[in-house]
Structure 1
């Protein structure tokens, strides 16, 4: 059985993951409106991954007897300055998500909740990958955004990304 405190933190994280999905969908829409469908695809896949993360946490909380409380999801921004602005905001957001997950792990460790700590290890590994990827894309978009040919190739690169659902 999970404590009320850990259940609350996981419920909050479910909300963060759902917000992230909407945030990335908003970014996808911005690129789609600029006919950069490959980059739009990248953020669309990001959105789907965030929903999958929320689902994993939902299922875990249910499995350990925690009360699931669905929170309101704030409206994400939809106005962005340029591609660099969007990728920079995506990296900043991933860093916030990492801190939030670390906070749950810290609390779980303090309570001796080894099941939650073990469950969240997958998310820690995922966040390391997400931050590294987001950082690389910030670097790349800064290199290519003023060069239409390079931007076209970057768009084509990101068009290749596909969503892969992972098991529970």
Structure 2
């Protein structure tokens, strides 16, 4: 049985993951509106991944006979000056999510809830990847800053990114 503290924190994390999805969808729409279809695609894939993360947490709560409480999603920013600004915001946001996941792991450890601790290992590893990916994108954007052809080529490269369903949800891609 989940402790009340962990149960509430997991429900808050579901809301945070849905907010993340909403943020990345907003970034995708802003990039699309500015003609950056590849950047839009990169953020749309992020949007779908964040939805997966929320679903993993929902599935976990249900598997533990704990209620899922869906909360309102706060508004998100809707415009950025450049892809570089988007990716810098992405890194800052992912660092906040990493701290939230670490907090969940701390609560699970305090509770000696080994099942929750084990489930959270996937998210800890995922956050390392998320931050590294954002850093890589910042580096790529900085490398082409002020170079329209470079941005064009980067945008074309980002258009090739594809969505893969998160491993805890199964192995089949949509």
TM-score range, shorter chain: over 0.9
- Alignment match, 1:124: 124
Alignment match, 1:148: 148
CA contact (8 A) 2:109 2:117 kept: yes
1:102 aligns with 2:102: yes
Unaligned runs of 5+ in 1: none
Please, what TM-score do these two structures have when normalized by structure 1?
A: 0.97
Q: Deviations over 1:40-70 (max 9, x none)?
A: 0000000000000000000001101212111
Distance 1:99 1:66 in 2: 23
Q: Within 2, Cα distance between the matches of 1:125 and 1:83?
A: 25
Deviations 1:13-55, CA, capped at 9 Å, x for gaps: 0000000000001101111011110110000000000000000
Q: CA RMSD in A?
A: 0.9
Q: Is contact 2:39-2:83 (8 Å) kept?
A: no
- Corresponding residue pairs, total: 168
Which structure 2 residue ranges, 5 or more long, are not aligned?
170-174
Q: Could you report, residue by residue, the CA deviation over 1:101-134 in whole angstroms, capped at 9, with x for unpaired residues?
A: 0000001001101100000100011100010010
Q: CA deviation at 1:145?
A: 2.8
Q: Which residue of 2 aligns with 1:162?
A: 162
Mapped contact 1:3–1:66 kept (Cα < 8 A): no
